[in-house]
Amino acid sequence: MDNSKFWTWFDQEAAPRLAHREVSFRKIFRHLDQFLTRSLVIVETGCVRKADNWAGDGQSTVLFDRYIQCAPHGGRLFTVDIDPSATSECKRLVSPGVEVHTEDSVLFLSKLAAQFRATGASIDLLYLDSFDLDWGNPAPSAAHHLKELAAISPVIRTDTLVVVDDAPCSSFLMIDDRQQATLVRPPTVSGKGLLVAEYAAAVNATLQFSHYQVAWTNMVR
Ligand SMILES: C[S@@+](CC[C@H](N)C(=O)[O-])C[C@H]1O[C@@H](n2cnc3c(N)ncnc32)[C@H](O)[C@@H]1O
């Protein structure tokens, strides 16, 4: 089963504007293609807050909405944002079926997990992109994204793709007196994904890709 209508739109409209996220969004949608024989479930934290800000924020809610609209069996897209102006703009930019919530994401995800458990539902794609990152002090944002994962983990499966945005790798370099750089510590995931990556390593999750966005499967056993 294919989603060629989506891919035509993605290649023509989205990919040329996505900049550093193009490669990873392409991998995200390839992953979702394997679930097209049934209805999909996508859960996102941090909704689209500005029209046409493709290279800046990524327009994730717009992309996920389009994917579900084109999917043969449709699906449900949940998004949550703490800022009412963001959710109000999001509602203007996506189709009426998207379930847009205004709340702290950790609280929302904990309630959603309870609701999903009661109905036997689970998640195909978990996309974490809330709490804006301070590149000079990533810890508060990274901790928030780890809390999000903890809140929703009861309803993710081994083949759920868990993605964190704004999570490129960082490394430590030593510069000698001839201005030669030596790698002191190899690159590791940073930004919003700093602590989720530590968790993923601890549970031996499978890294699916690490670009500007990072993704794993097997986050639960
Ligand atoms: C980078 S933006 C999301 C961008 C969006 N994913 C896109 O691709 O266009 C981050 C959003 O997270 C929201 N946010 C910050 N703290 C939050 C929290 N505790 N719970 C939910 N959302 C939060 C902000 O209001 C902001 O709108």
Q: Which atom of ligand 1 is nearest to the CA of 166?
A: 1
Domain ranges of the chain: 4-217
pTM of the model: 0.98
**pLDDT reported for residue 2:** 80
The pLDDT score that the predictor gives to residue 145 is 98
Distance 133 CA to ligand 1 centre (A): 10
At residue 147, the pLDDT reads 98
pLDDT along the chain (221 residues), means of 10: 92 98 98 97 98 97 98 98 98 98 98 98 98 97 98 98 98 96 95 98 98 98 88
How many C-beta atoms surround the C-beta of residue 176 within 10 A? 8
pLDDT score for 1: 73
104: Cβ below 6 Å to ligand 1?
A: yes
Q: What is the DSSP letter of 203?
A: T
CATH number of 4-217: 3.40.50
Decide: residue 188, CB within 10 A, 0-12 exposed, 13-18 middle, 19+ buried. Answer: middle
